Amino acid sequence: MKIDFTHNQSAHCENGVVSNLLKHNGHDISEPMVFGIGSGLFFVYIPFLKVNYAPAISFRPMPGFIFKRFSKRLKIKVKRYKFRDEKKAQLALDAELKNNNPVGLQVGVYNLTYFPDEYRFHFNAHNMVVYGKKDNTYLISDPVMEKVTTLTEKELEKVRFAKGAFAPKGHMYYPINYPEKLDLEKAIKKGIKSTCRDMLAPVPIVGVKGIRKVAKLIRKWPVKLGTKKANHYLGQIVRMQEEIGTGGGGFRFIYGAFLEEASVILSNPKLKELSHEITQIGDLWRDFALDASRIYKNRSSEVDGYNKVADKLVIIADKEENFFKKLKKAI
Amino acid sequence: MKKKDVPQDKSNLESVSFRELCYAVDENGEYVTANSTGWNPKTIALNNAIQEINERIKKAKTNVLNNQTSPIEYYMEVHKMDLSILASYVGMWKWRVKRHFKPSVFEKLNTKILNKYATVFDISIAQLQNIQSN
């Protein structure tokens, strides 16, 4: 069986799945809109949590948060299932497909056969839509891919029951109930306010303060950890900032697209101005990545290079502080 | 980022001919989406990370051959796992898995336990016991 489902490519998997499922149900909500309303823009540095042997730095909230906040703010009801038994998980999925209902799935990336090998890490919060089944093969709309793809029963079972942090446990979800009219205006304001609060939070490892903290650490890394480790850590920041899913510049460009759309819906020209401003800040993040990559490419240990990229981060932090203060006032 | 500046560098994405989606601004200052084949600073970061993993695998291999660790640690590195990921795949406590890294303990493991590891690594028990058998 095959459900008539339109695949739209997106930058980020979570927003993409939500946007595609909503569009399927007749609500034309773009990816940046999902991202903005769900307050997807974030920054956090978690020193005690190691990812790939480097401290965790994230430009987004916890997996699943964007969708949770988005559906709450628009009063959309979402049905969620988790399973212990692999067979039951498959039967439940097959039943939904039979009912002509495309569903979202949380999966692990490591065993996704259609991803290039280099991208297959143990990251368990990837999202996709299943929109049909032919023989023993599932039809998959993975929003980060340009085109739809397929997975066999066995392959899908493996990724649905990946283990480790954020283990999906067969997590399956779909929207079941929409309010009569989606109150976008209110949801947008809530989303923006919450992002401003997060980014300006008086917590040393979160938001603007977190960016400053990382800048300070970068200056110390080459001396304290040695060139090799310092470069590995720096590379990890760049990967978190630019890897598939961020839309570039640590999500700043998606946020710019959101503010542009929001400015029309709220008829607030100030948001359009701020959209330009966050775009410029995104460009600064790109510059930072470029300079950082020069350091680890040349494997040069000159402390000066680290100081220079740290200076860039400090400038970004100052600009973002200013930006979010203005954004808070603008709505 | 301007639309015309969306990078089209060579990257590992080419192998599966897929381009990722970026958000950029067009000539009129409006946001549009554009596909990118890759961006060098990113590719370098990824390649460095891969190289790091390969070094870990090589080191683990040497340690196995010198009888300093068991093949379990080697296969764990091959599968880009760390101790907590492997422990959760085999459904055992971390300290227990760590204990199985000891060659003397590994030698005495029963087939049931070996089988658990072999299934997770998608290999036979013979391959698990001898890393050079494949």
Whether residue B27 is predicted with pLDDT greater than 80 in this model: the reply is yes
**pLDDT at B134 exceeding the cut of 60:** no
For A114-169, what is each residue's pLDDT tens digit?
Answer: 998 888 999 998 999 999 999 999 999 999 999 999 999 999 999 999 999 889 99
Assess if residue B48 is contained within a domain.
no
How far is the C-alpha of A250 from the C-alpha of A211, rounded, in Å?
12
Nearest chain B Cα to A297, which residue? B44
pLDDT band at A301 (very low <50, low <70, confident <90, very high): low
Q: Is residue B124 located within the same domain as residue B73? A: yes
Within this chain, do residues B72 and B129 fall inside the same structural domain, yes or no? yes
> So what's the pLDDT on residue A243?
81
Q: How many CB atoms lie within 10 A of CB B121?
A: 21
- Of the partner residues B25, B42, B81, the one whose CB lies closest to the CB of residue A238: B42
**Residue-level pLDDT at A51:** 80
Grouping H, G, I as helix, E, B as strand and the rest as coil, residue A114 is coil
| Distance from the A134 Cα atom to the nearest Cα atom in chain B, whole angstroms | 23
Instruction: Name, in order, each residue with C-beta under 8 angstroms of A131's C-beta and a sequence gap of 6 or more.
Output: A2, A3, A5, A97, A102, A139, A140, A141, A148
Asked if the Cβ–Cβ distance from A279 to B1 is below 8 Å, we say: yes
Q: Write the CATH number for B88.
A: 1.10.260.40
Exposure b/e, A154-188, CB count within 10 A at least 16 = b: ebbbbbbbbbbebbbbbbbbbbeebeeebebeebb
Look up residue A138 and give its two tokens. Answer: 């599932």
Integer CA distances (angstroms), B51 to A82, B15, B47, in order: 36, 18, 6
How far apart are alpha carbons B97 and B117 in whole angstroms?
10
What is the model's pLDDT at position A118? 83
A16-25, A131-140, A203-212, A238-247: range with lowest mean pLDDT: A238-247
Residue A303 has pLDDT above 70, yes or no: no
| For range A282-291, the mean pLDDT | 95
* A163 close to A26: Cβ distance less than 8 angstroms: no
ipTM of the complex: 0.90
- Closest CB from B20, B41, B80 relative to A238: B41
pLDDT tier for residue A266 given thresholds of 50, 70 and 90: very high
| Cβ neighbours of B34 in A, within 8 Å | none
Would you place residue A228 in the very low, low, confident or very high pLDDT band (cuts 50, 70, 90)?
confident
pLDDT band at A245, cuts 50/70/90? Answer: confident
Mean pLDDT of chain A: 93
Across the A:B interface, residue pairs with CB atoms under 8 Å apart total 121
Q: Which residues of B touch A (CB under 8 A)?
A: 1, 12-13, 15-16, 18-25, 29-31, 33, 35-36, 39-42, 44-50, 52, 79-82, 84-85, 88-89
Backbone angles phi, psi at B8, to 5 degrees: -125, 50
Tell me whether residue A53 is exposed, middle or buried, using C-beta atoms within 10 angstroms of its C-beta: 0 to 12, 13 to 18, 19 or more: middle
- Asked whether the predicted pLDDT for residue A19 surpasses 70, the reply is yes
Mean pLDDT over A167-195 rounds to 95
In chain A, where does the domain assigned CATH 3.90.70.10 lie? 13-37+77-177
Is residue A145 within 8 A of residue B66, CB to CB? The reply is no
**Is residue B87 scored above 80 in pLDDT?**
yes
pLDDT at B113: 97
pLDDT confidence of A247, banded at 50, 70, 90?
confident
Confidence of residue A1 (pLDDT cuts 50, 70, 90): confident
H or E element that contains A18 = helix A13-24
State both tokens at A210.
Answer: 């977190």
**Mean pLDDT calculated for residue range A258-286:** 97
| CATH placement of domain A13-37+77-177 | 3.90.70.10
Looking at the structure of chain B, the number of domains it has is 2
What are the Cα distances from residue A116, in Å, to A40, A236, A239, B59, B117? 26, 19, 16, 25, 25
Q: Do A163 and B89 touch (CB under 8 A)?
A: yes
B31 and B83 in one domain?
A: no
Structural domain including B96 reads 68-133
The residues, ordered by sequence, that sit 6+ positions from A79 with a Cβ below 8 Å of its Cβ are: A173, A174, A175, A176
Collapsed DSSP state (helix, strand, coil) of residue A139 = strand
- Looking at residue A50, its pLDDT comes to 83
Instruction: State residue A291's pLDDT score.
Output: 93
